[in-house]
Chain A
């Protein structure tokens, strides 16, 4: 049978999540599933860059933050007062930034042979920063002073939040274009470090430009593509559905009032599950869609060319392939997918917290997913996302079990035992590191290695 290992591993993963549903609760199982699916989109984005093209992008965190910013820019209603107070200044500054970028590009293109070109570009960029500050400063302070406690920012466009996923992707691709122009010529380890640092710059901009994103004050109560729990609880069809699903349970209770109580309890608990189920369906659709197209791409002439570039850049160049252009394209494509996932993540959380973007969680964990799952194999990337996220969430009970096993000789009040039990959340880092080291040593191509097609 074809691809038996893929089927078995996904079946096992599905079983694990179902077991969580049975033994813990369906809400927990579904929220694990949802985050697994979102992580799968992220790891597929990284896999497109690293697995297909061999580009090492440690800037995942930055693109996720851009995707998150997109949800705010698209879905939040605009703050009219702020726009009238400082909108003009901001627009003017935006035009100024675009002009500066254009000038830099024109200088790069036209004065190709000019000896001091680089210095000219440098001076222009350095001069533009204080100028920008002079233009935008007053408007920014005006915007941030309007209802500082509740808004204090420009708001967004009040569109359905689904659009923000695509906008986040597009915005990420745009930023990736600029980063790619700067960095893609660098060698692998330089590229890794510089993308990591640039993602740091992006996150600090998102964090500190309060007029744009509310910064560390966070944006809460974002829109949803799924129904709200409260609306469900008040709707007749949902009540009827729950009653229908639990007929056997309800019919055992004869007392009418008790029956109503139980029903309303069931409605409340299952409304949360229902919302998560809606999210899961949307995310599942996204993952399947992406999987279909990246599998197609991998098997297309374009995919073969990308693998050729990855495996032997010089040979690909000699065959007349434009390596620089293809690298830039695939860097943008992968970043767009990561940005898309970033918007999905913020949509699912319902709030945008710029200070939560840390490289460990949002860059390196995603990389562990890809490396663990199997670089260059889309199924591997998805499996890696599922396995890693599952371990990430479920490591606490496991760590507790291990600690109890090793300290069973000690009394419950023993200081060492208590200290270990208090530090349970950090065992997940340990497991991740150990897992990564073991996989790199004994299965360096990942759990589901790349399959080279010979046709």
Chain B
């Protein structure tokens, strides 16, 4: 339980893809946007949905479902674009829903993601169990890097 302030913790944004919950540190999140018109960019990997106009900045959008080889779902009113920055790159992720902001005690993070045995394994930096929820922590560098 997170009842004492001296426990070291990370603040994360929690989002949903299918039935799983994922977490990204707040420090890497620039903002959460509703879906908007995406311009397709030809000759890019399938998971690159295209680019959007994010307040004057052209920002590439990645569909995490395609990235993780999860069956894609239909866009609905909960669909969000989470804008993140890694190494001065600004990229948006399409997710099913962005539900929560939470402090995860560092102690509750386990590095071995044995529970998840799928394609997305290589993008995971750890899992955290907080109040019966299982949160998957993403390694954003890896999510972005394999394009190169």
* Chains A and B form a bound pair: no
Which of A's residues lie within 8 Å of B, judged by CB? none
